[in-house]
Structure 1
Amino acid sequence: MTTLAPHLLGSYAPVPDEITVTELPVTGAIPPELSGWYLRNGPNPHEAASAHWFLGDGMVHGVRLERGTAVSYRNRWVRTTTFTHGAPLRDDQGNADLTAGVANTHVVRHAGRTLALVESSYPYELDCRAGHELETIGAYDFDGRLRTPMTAHPKTCPVTGELHFFGYGGPSAPYLTYHRADNRGELTISRPVDVSAATMMHDFQLTAGHVVFMDLPALYDRTRAGTGMPYVWAPEHGARLGVLRRDRPYAEVRWFTIEPCYVFHTLGAYEESDGERLILHAIRHDRLGDGVDINGRTSLWRWTLDLVTGTVREEQLDDRRAEFPRIDDRLTGLPHRYGHASTANGPDGGAIHRYDLRDGTVTSHRFGPGRAPGEAAFVPADDTPGGPGWLMTYVYDAATDRSDLVILDADNLTAPPVATVHLPRRVPAGFHGNWLADV
């Protein structure tokens, strides 16, 4: 008898098909000013098998809200060339096919395009027009200018509208390339960054005047290629944070050594003292196992980089096990007081935590036994960055084997949900998403 891997069982198990269901039941009241899509991406192998949780075919799950009603739920696979006809990431000679991949990690909007992302490949554009919702348009390479993969965690500057991102991967240098697209979506900067080895760089951060890279000791191991996640934990490689000035995008990157650790996801970054200090908040993993085993300890940490003295201070801010941190994206690169992260499972079920980075307190919404939230996206309630808003997340209920879209008041997190949209099926545990308001 075949024993399935844990990432193919329970709340992780893939769903077998695509459905569309309208007129969803709601407990509570959806704020009437919300009109748009809540979209979340995640792995859903269409053959119901994958070597690692990170490797399943991308499926986007969307709930459409309009003027206080839950209009519909739909789920669609992202039809990459790997999904449609099994295209491999690399051929027998090691040549990369950047249109191949699973597009399973994030879904973002920039310059009018909705993009499904995975860090090994090009983004895939999705159609969100009425009557075409979540259909795949095709691979997007910025009109032929992008020649590397694209991170699944790009950052949009709220001041300039520019999209900052990077590409990594491959067995040979350059192992890292920094990219920037303007607010119209035109790729304007692509420059290699000198790093000594092919490390797994999942995320990075932006401040008002700098870009912060993370060169951490998860190293590519070509002997593991084709067997799952081809990375090994190598603390002897060291760990460091790289700082690049935004106004000098081709300048040398300045590196700051930190204690070996791994970071999948940053919360945010900003500057103090007229740009002399950079503050970075992130969820720190004390280590990874080979093949990207993620069973180590995780918690919220802060790194303070002093650009005058060349030193860095590392501080643990909380001891709760958490992941998938988010802020109000309108404060990307700017000072922000609050951040949020999720705990999928705990003694009293899962929780969403609100960190007050100014006074050091934490407020939590607990969902109860057997209920596990995913990442919570912040949805603004008005035009004030850092002002009131809601948190949206899919919550899996083990008792019913179904999921809900839960809307919480971010400023009153201990209160009952503002609204719970009851979905017709389970949304498998996944990765990242966004609220895409109608424009």
Structure 2
Amino acid sequence: MTAEKPYLIGHYAPVADEITATELTVEGHLPSELTGRLLRNGHNPKPGVTPTHWFKGSGMVHGIRLREGRAEWYRNRWVKSPALDGAPYMTEKGPDLAASVAGTHIIEHGGRLLALCEANFPFELTRELETVGAYDFDGKLRSAMTAHPKEDPVTGELHLFGSSPFPPYLMYYVADAKGDIVHSAEIPGASASLKHDFAITRHHVVFIEGNVTFDPTEHSGIPYGWSDEQPARIGVMPRGKDGTQNIRWFSIEPGNMLHVSNAYEDGRGRIVLEGPTVDREGFRLSWNWWVGAPGRGAEPNARSYTRRWVIDLAAGSVDEQIIDDLAVEFPTLNEEYLGRENRYQYAISFPDSKGFGSYGIVKYDRTTGARRIHQVGDARLPSEAVFVPAAGATGEDDGYLLTVVSDLKQDASQLLVLDASGLDRVATVHLPRRVTAGIHGSWVPDSDLDDAQA
């Protein structure tokens, strides 16, 4: 029954229709430089559909259009892929890369809005969130595409990969700033381990393989599970067309990481990689929540703690440690520092496996070790906090955090705009409905879409 599926109730309860609302109510002062769109993606099955796994729910994008101190519109649209109407992923000819739920992330690159799901092709959307169709980079994308590509803030290149439980296990691509794929290669030595996210630094690409790998006995529709026999590893590959010849794999402690906080090369040339990870029990609790099975935690991510790896390429060694005891997920940063050493990181806190703690927006100062939390209130769940630089920003945290809050008591949602330096509220935009708790999203300024006619 629907009530037994945690991903279909409470903050995660799907909305039943598509709407558009204009001239939204704003409390406080929206900074004029916030002129663009906040786009959120997440799983929202159609009425009457009960997916066997949270990740199998059809993608729905929620958009909020801000311009020069006003909140012009809110709209939500399903990504109208074949999967929305029940088309199967696996066919007699093999996987249908166009049969995507397209419900994990949405990005902009080269002027295109792309809804992403790591098992399929991206789906292109219009500026009003209507579906254009599957996008394969003019035939140059020959595999699925990760939901977590990385745009280099210096070159504008988009780095991406495609992971598969079958050979070739890992394909790597680079698209130029215009969106044309200019390099592709199969990564040697990769396994069937689930690779959800990865990292880039100035000189390297970093792949992460945890203990979650292909499991043909898993019948939820997502054929992965924890395996003690699957080695946990980090692959480090030099950037450039000859990088695959020099990839190195480093063994790490058992665990699984879904999302990278950041990676960079320090002053000694070592690679520093950080991100929330779970151990075997943490994965079991989250997976059981995702499939609605007994023995699940009250929340996913209840044992997700930030871990740091320091990879010494010269010594061939890895030092790793858990650096915080707060259960967090959905790490973000000022993306001008992606692949470079960053001082500040942000995340969403969750109650831990014993029920302690609460939802909140967390700011980490990596220099001092300080941690600050913005409490959003009882029965309120914030979405991943997206950083937007302030006009004329001079400091790394000189900007705003944008998060959509699901409020169960009011059966409503608001867009919160926080000052990223102190986590103080700057403005609240009241939305016309409670927005289903989603996964990932992006701020897309008008300049990126050349949005003169919107």
Q: Do Structure 1 and Structure 2 share a fold, with TM-score over 0.5?
A: yes
Residues of 2 paired with 1:87 and 1:421: CA distance?
Answer: 37
Percent of matched pairs sharing the same residue? 47
Say if 2:302 and 2:350, in contact at 8 Å, map to a contact too.
no
Corresponding residue for residue 7 of structure 1 = 7
Corresponding residue for residue 64 of structure 1 = 65
Is 1:420–2:428 an aligned residue pair? yes
Residues of 2 paired with 1:315 and 1:160: CA distance?
Answer: 32
Say if 1:328 and 1:385, in contact at 8 Å, map to a contact too.
no
SS of 1:319's equivalent? coil
Is 1:173–2:167 an aligned residue pair? yes
Say if 1:231 and 1:292, in contact at 8 Å, map to a contact too.
no
Corresponding residue for residue 162 of structure 1 = 157
| TM-score, normalization by structure 2 | 0.91
Corresponding residue for residue 354 of structure 1 = 363
Corresponding residue for residue 80 of structure 2 = 79
Deviation of the 1:358 alpha carbon: 1.2
| TM-score, normalization by structure 1 | 0.94
Structure 2 residues without counterparts, runs of 5 or longer: 289-299, 448-454
Corresponding residue for residue 411 of structure 1 = 421
Is 1:300–2:309 an aligned residue pair? no
After superposition, the C-alpha distances for 1:182-211 in whole angstroms (9 at most, x for unaligned) are 111111121111345312111000100000
Residues of 2 paired with 1:428 and 1:41: CA distance?
Answer: 9
Say if 1:231 and 1:290, in contact at 8 Å, map to a contact too.
no
Residues of 1 paired with 2:42 and 2:372: CA distance?
Answer: 27
Deviation of the 1:391 alpha carbon: 0.3
Alignment of 1:67-146 (within 5 A): 67-83=68-84, 85-92=85-92, 95-128=94-127, 133-146=128-141
Amino acid at match of 1:397: D
Say if 1:349 and 1:371, in contact at 8 Å, map to a contact too.
no
Deviation of the 1:326 alpha carbon: 0.3
Corresponding residue for residue 297 of structure 2 = none
Corresponding residue for residue 395 of structure 1 = 405
Cα gap change, 1:2 to 1:114, in 2 (>3 Å): closer
SS of 1:82's equivalent? helix
After superposition, the C-alpha distances for 1:321-355 in whole angstroms (9 at most, x for unaligned) are 11000011111111110000002457674210100
Is 1:27–2:27 an aligned residue pair? yes
Residues of 2 paired with 1:28 and 1:379: CA distance?
Answer: 18
Say if 1:89 and 1:98, in contact at 8 Å, map to a contact too.
yes
Output the aligned Cα RMSD: 1.8
Amino acid at match of 1:8: L
SS of 2:249's equivalent? strand
SS of 2:265's equivalent? strand
Residues of 1 paired with 2:184 and 2:116: CA distance?
Answer: 18
Corresponding residue for residue 291 of structure 2 = none
Corresponding residue for residue 275 of structure 2 = 282
Say if 1:229 and 1:292, in contact at 8 Å, map to a contact too.
no
After superposition, the C-alpha distances for 1:258-279 in whole angstroms (9 at most, x for unaligned) are 10100011100111136x2001
Residues of 2 paired with 1:162 and 1:385: CA distance?
Answer: 24
Amino acid at match of 2:5: A
Deviation of the 1:238 alpha carbon: 1.8
Amino acid at match of 1:163: L
Corresponding residue for residue 258 of structure 2 = 264
Corresponding residue for residue 379 of structure 1 = 388
Corresponding residue for residue 332 of structure 2 = 326
Say if 1:381 and 1:387, in contact at 8 Å, map to a contact too.
no
Say if 2:188 and 2:244, in contact at 8 Å, map to a contact too.
no
Corresponding residue for residue 40 of structure 1 = 40
Q: Number of aligned residue pairs: give it.
A: 428
After superposition, the C-alpha distances for 1:309-332 in whole angstroms (9 at most, x for unaligned) are 011111211111110000111111
Deviation of the 1:291 alpha carbon: 9.0
After superposition, the C-alpha distances for 1:249-304 in whole angstroms (9 at most, x for unaligned) are 33232011110100011100111136x20011101112322993456511111110
Cα gap change, 1:273 to 1:372, in 2 (>3 Å): same
Deviation of the 1:29 alpha carbon: 1.2
Deviation of the 1:224 alpha carbon: 2.6
Residues of 1 paired with 2:126 and 2:366: CA distance?
Answer: 37
Cα gap change, 1:105 to 1:308, in 2 (>3 Å): same
Residues of 2 paired with 1:392 and 1:122: CA distance?
Answer: 28
Deviation of the 1:98 alpha carbon: 0.7
SS of 1:223's equivalent? coil
